[in-house]
Amino acid sequence: MITDQQARAIAYLLHEIRPDWPVASLMSLIDKHRDVPSLGALTIAATTKAMESTCQTPGPIFHPGPHWPEAARSHLPRPPSCEDHIGQESTSCRSCWADFKAGDRPQTHIGKHYEAPATAGASDIEGEQR
Ligand SMILES: [Zn+2]
């Protein structure tokens, strides 16, 4: 279990490595994942991800993967399923990311239920009628 003080320490450390990752959002992210195997494992996983230039947001820190020390990997809690796509994990749902890249889903709704505004798609229907 990660304490407040430990969460703050990691958030500030990550922010030093990645100034584009705000401390406040790091804190709320860590807060949601306090059941990580240990502070040491989290520090290794988090700093490894922070040093990956391809890693745009801190979210993937908590995804399972080789950035976690091997002994910690089997103790990682599994993320909940995507609300919109059965069989996909909410933190890494490929269908949601595809929607996001296509502009059909805001990034805030990766892994969460999202309904496109009712007006979207109306022009397609009109086009078919012509
Ligand atoms: Zn999804």
Q: If you measure from the C-alpha of residue 95 to the centroid of ligand 1, how many angstroms do you get, rounded to a whole number?
A: 5
127 pLDDT band (50/70/90 cuts)? very low
Q: If you measure from the C-alpha of residue 109 to the centroid of ligand 1, how many angstroms do you get, rounded to a whole number?
A: 9
Instruction: Report residue 119: phi and psi, to 5°.
Output: -70, -25
Q: If you measure from the C-alpha of residue 92 to the centroid of ligand 1, how many angstroms do you get, rounded to a whole number?
A: 8
Q: If you measure from the C-alpha of residue 119 to the centroid of ligand 1, how many angstroms do you get, rounded to a whole number?
A: 22
As a whole number of angstroms, the distance between CA 21 and CA 104 comes to: 25
pLDDT(65) > 90: no
120 pLDDT band (50/70/90 cuts)? low
Give the mean pLDDT of 23-42: 95
116 pLDDT band (50/70/90 cuts)? confident
Q: If you measure from the C-alpha of residue 14 to the centroid of ligand 1, how many angstroms do you get, rounded to a whole number?
A: 27
> What is the token pair recorded at 11?
């958030």
> What is the token pair recorded at 119?
């007006």
Give the pLDDT of residue 125. Answer: 47
As a whole number of angstroms, the distance between CA 96 and CA 87 comes to: 12
Give the pLDDT of residue 17. Answer: 98
Q: If you measure from the C-alpha of residue 4 to the centroid of ligand 1, how many angstroms do you get, rounded to a whole number?
A: 31
pTM (global) more than 0.85: no
Give the mean pLDDT of 20-24: 97
Q: If you measure from the C-alpha of residue 93 to the centroid of ligand 1, how many angstroms do you get, rounded to a whole number?
A: 5
Q: What percent of the chain has pLDDT over 70?
A: 91
